[in-house]
Structures are given as structure tokens and as C-alpha cells.
Amino acid sequence: MNNANNKPRVEIFVRSNIGHLQQLYAGFSALHCAGEIDLVQHLKPRPNMIASAEPHLRDARLSHCSVLVNKKYRIYYDMHDSWEVDEEALGKHDFYYKRSFQPDRYSKTFHGFQKLRAYGLNYEVVSDPVDIFALQRSLLARSTREFLTAMGWATGLANLWQFVPSLSRMETPPPIDAPTTVLFMARTWDPNESSSELDTKRKIDRDAINQMRANCIRALRDAFGESFFGGFAPSAFASMAYPDLVLNNKSYKKRNYIDTLRSSTIGVTTAGLHGSIGWKMAEYVAFSRAIVSEKFDAAIPGNFSETSNYLSFQNADECVNQVRKLVNDDELRRRMMRNNRDYYLKYLCPKKQVARSLDEMMSRPAQI
């Protein structure tokens, strides 16, 4: 961002305070605190459900956010897991940043295609306290518990009773000389949950996600023994379908997960719902880990690429083979760690990620 005296005036219109948007909010707050933008936050009514939309898109706007720059340029941020675009919002904005931007899904003749941009990796991270904008957003809470959590995170008081994923806690330099260990913790998706709302295809997709994750956990456990830590988050469905793979509640608490991530050198991740890239990928990059990921179609800005930042796989056997490459090749593993640290500092750090989108808007405004 340009740090001239005529810094941009950025108005952000906030309708929810869910985890999908925290990285975005942290980026805007960091730019404001650095004096690079003049940020004004407007709290708006919670968006209505879109009754006519597909079930997984009815509450998608909870993970959307609109921004007005210098009372001229309009940017829309869509942090939803799915690749689908909100066409109404697309028509009203100059740029549309999509987290799960899968360019092959959209025809070049698609109305508004030229406005679409890849936002990139996303994860839950909040500003270091005290953040006045986060305090304001706590007023959007729908329950007393939600309000107290939001207030606690905004002020830092929540550190007394829970782990707060603040910027200073959610990144580290590469552990170049640490012992080689492998991490893959995941959740299951119950294909029978809200069965009246899930169509057959999405039930099959959930089954496929669960099975890929289970196969990888078992294969990694067999291949790497005590050098591997992983399993499923506790849930009624996981305990029924994969009883041998369920972690205890203590292991899966956020604080303990982050501690385990800090002590690991290689992180494994698989595709999320709707083919999305999950938060784990971004967390692994922020913590400068070497990464083995299931193949994905979403576009990631910058120089993030296979072999440089991650190795890919399509089944459990390939997953094990790719992890083994990193285990056996110290130089490859360490170079990947350094590359991911470099990518975090240049692209994924929330301040940098949001600044990139604002710079693109002001330097190359899209044609409506």
C-alpha cells in the first residue's frame, strides 16, 4: 500500500463476525494501525437466508463482506468454501475476490468474469489486542456466549481461559533443524446430517472426503509410526464410522493443535467441502511447514506452486510417497519450509493479502 498523506479511505460493511472473515478483518485493521489506510467500519443487519439457493449457499453471505474505497471503488470479498459466485453481488461491485476461485468452473463469457479475482488461502486469525474494530463487531453476536467470546478475543482477556489465534501466535519461522515429524488432524462430515437438505451428490462427496482422510491417516500411521500424529476430531459420527481413528478431546483443542503443529515439520492436508482448500493449508504456510496436499483446482495468487511450496497426491499411497520424499530429503524439506515462510511474509500475512487486493483495485479498476 502507498503510505502517502492521501491514504485511501476504506469503508467496510460488516454483516457477520464468523471465523471465515477474521483473516480479512485482521488485514484491514493492520493496515489502519500502520497508517496505510483510513478505515471506517459500518455494522449492518445480518444477511437474510437465500431461500431459493442451493442448501449449501443459503447462508453463504455470512462469509461475505463489502468494501468501498475512496467512495469510488467497490470490492466484494467472498470467503465461502464453495466455488459458486454470488451473481447479485458481482453485478454491484467492481472487483470480486473469491476464496475458492476455480477459474475452470467459469466460462470466459460469464457475465462479470473480468471482475473475478483469486483471494487466496484463508484461515482463522485475529488481530493482537486491543482491536477497536473487533470490539465493535462483537455487537453482531447472536448470543451471550458469542458476545463474550468476541469481546474476549478483541481485548485479549480470552487468553485467560482459551487459545486466541492472534497474529503473533499464528506464525513462526521454519524449524529447520527440528526432528522430522508428520501431522494430519482432520474432521469428518456426516453424510446423513440434515438428510432432507443434502442431495445425493453432496452425500457422496462427503463420503469421499471422509474416506480419503481415513485412508491417509491409516497409511501414514503404518508408514511412519511414532513420527506421525493424526486422527479425526471427536464426534458421534466419527466414533461410529472410524472408531480406530478418533483423537481424544484434549488433543483436538485449538491450543493443543497449535502446539502440535509447532512441533511438527511436515503437514498433510486434503480437500474440503466443495473442493475447497481448507484452513490447514494456510496454517501450515504461516508456520513455515513443509506440505503434502491433495490436488486442488483453486487458484492461489503469487508464486505458490507445486514442488516449491507443497507436494501433491491423489490417493493414500501417493500421500505416503510424497511425505517420504520430504522425510528422506533434508534439503527439499528445508527449502520448502523457507519458501513457505517467504510466501507468508509476501502474500499470506493478512496485512499483505488485503493490501494486494486494494492495490489491484486502485491500479487496475475493472470495467463494469
The grid cell for 110 is: 460469464
The C-alpha atoms of residue 358 and residue 339 are separated, in whole angstroms, by 25
In tens digits, the chain (368 residues) has pLDDT values of 655 568 999 999 999 999 999 999 999 999 999 999 999 999 999 998 988 888 888 999 999 999 999 999 999 999 999 999 999 999 999 999 999 999 888 876 677 888 999 999 999 999 998 999 999 999 999 999 999 999 999 998 999 999 999 999 999 999 988 999 999 999 999 988 765 566 777 888 999 999 999 999 999 999 999 999 999 999 999 999 999 999 998 888 999 999 999 999 999 999 998 889 999 999 999 999 999 999 999 999 999 999 999 999 999 999 999 999 999 999 999 999 999 999 999 999 999 999 999 998 888 655 44
pLDDT of residue 368: 43
Amino acid code (one letter) for 81? D
The grid cell for 65 is: 463482506
Q: What is the pTM of this model?
A: 0.94
Q: Strand 9-14 vs strand 64-69: parallel, antiparallel, or unpaired?
A: antiparallel
Burial label for 286, CB within 10 Å (0-12, 13-18, 19+), is buried
pLDDT of residue 2: 56
As beta bridge partners, residue 64 has: 78
The grid cell for 344 is: 507468508
pLDDT of residue 104: 86
Contacts of residue 276, Cβ cutoff 8 Å, sequence gap at least 6? 81, 82, 83, 99, 100, 298
* Inter-residue contact 54 to 274 (CB < 8 Å): no
The number of C-alpha atoms within 13 Å of 345 and in the hemisphere containing its C-beta is 10
Q: Could you tell me the domains of the chain?
A: 9-162+350-363 (no CATH), 172-347 (3.40.50.2000)
- Name the DSSP class of 166: B
For residue 270, what are the CA distances in angstroms to 3, 117, 123, 131, 217?
A: 39, 23, 15, 33, 11
The grid cell for 201 is: 451428490
* Inter-residue contact 232 to 186 (CB < 8 Å): yes
Contacts of residue 222, Cβ cutoff 8 Å, sequence gap at least 6? none
